[in-house]
Amino acid sequence: MNRVNELGPSADTVVHIDFFDFFRWVLGTVVTIYATVVSAQFLYGWWIYFSGEGRYLSLARRYIMLQGLRLRIRTFGGDVLICVLLTAVWVLLLRAHQMVAKIDPDNHGDGRDRITTR
């Protein structure tokens, strides 16, 4: 009789599940959906509020529209630059994570093997 079958499944049939990656992707999905729903509800509430009739609501709508037209790049350009730079850092970290994920976690060699990222 085959000794491997007596001990259980072979190493080729064992599924490697990384629970940290699973938790991270589930958490990211849930948080993204939650943030999207809350933001949509917030914007819809203000849309309904400002679509009402009345002298003061009309004045508030015109004021908000005027303030939106008066925005200048110089006023909030630094904040936009910070957001762009943070997005670039996030993309670099994501790429680094993908490169690290390609490393075989089950490779227990003596360290003489080269790790390639192909």
In this prediction, residue 57 carries a pLDDT of 87
In this prediction, residue 24 carries a pLDDT of 87
Q: Which residues contact 106 (CB under 8 A, 6 or more apart)?
A: 16
* More confident position, 92 or 11: 92
- Separation of first and last alpha carbons in the chain: 40
Cα–Cα nearest to 16, from 104, 111, 93: 104
In this prediction, residue 37 carries a pLDDT of 97
Percent of the chain past pLDDT 90, that is, above it, reads 29
List the structure tokens of 106. 């089950």
Mean pLDDT of the chain: 80
Helix 55-70, helix 19-50: angle, nearest 10: 120
Query: Can you list the alpha helix ranges (DSSP code H) found in 9-116?
Result: 19-50, 55-70, 73-101
In this prediction, residue 110 carries a pLDDT of 54
In this prediction, residue 113 carries a pLDDT of 57
Report pLDDT digits (tens) over 23-81. 988 999 999 999 999 999 999 998 898 888 888 888 988 898 888 888 777 778 888 89
